[in-house]
């Protein structure tokens, strides 16, 4: 089961999935990111995601692509070592900032402006 919390922050919208991002839950995550693509800055907080497979990573990349097509940008907050290692190993951190805290990710979004 996946829960997705969306909050409006200061100059960005926060998307916080809670639960595993895998082939069973990815459609819900993908739909949320599609709905958020109209916002200029999207911050995705993966701190409550204990596991993400290639389907989750693909949805994340698709969400970034949609946001950028709308002249927006994305940053990711993640304090889970296993997920952070996955994001670094796959080169994901070369296309968007991956920060340890929401505050750091929000600051990285501000630098993109």
Residue 54: inside a domain: yes
List the alpha helices (DSSP H) in 40-80: 54-69
Asked if pLDDT for residue 113 goes beyond 50, the answer is no
Check residue 9 and give its pLDDT: 82
Residue 112: inside a domain: no
Residue 105: inside a domain: no
Alpha-carbon dihedral 50, 88, 34, 74, rounded to 10 degrees: 120
Residue 20: inside a domain: yes
Quote the number of domains for the chain: 1
At 71, which CATH number? 3.30.750.24
Check residue 110 and give its pLDDT: 67
pLDDT band at 10, cuts 50/70/90? confident
Residue 111: inside a domain: no
Name the residue with higher pLDDT: 24 or 111: 24
Residue 45: inside a domain: yes
- Taking alpha carbons only, the member of 12, 5, 3 closest to residue 97 is 12
Structural domain harbouring 68: 3-99
Residue 86: inside a domain: yes
Residue 109: inside a domain: no
């Amino acid at each position: 089961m996946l829960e997705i919390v969306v909050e409006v922050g200061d100059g960005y919208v926060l998307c916080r999935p809670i639960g595993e991002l895998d082939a069973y839950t990815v459609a819900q995550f993908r739909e949320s990111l599609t709905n958020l693509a109209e916002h200029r800055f999207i911050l995705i907080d993966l701190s409550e995601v204990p596991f993400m497979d290639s389907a989750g990573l693909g949805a994340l990349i698709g969400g970034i692509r949609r946001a950028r097509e709308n002249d927006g940008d994305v940053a990711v907050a993640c304090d889970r070592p296993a997920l952070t290692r996955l994001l670094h190993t796959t080169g994901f951190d070369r296309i968007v900032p991956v920060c340890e805290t929401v505050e750091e990710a929000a600051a990285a979004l501000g630098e993109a402006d």
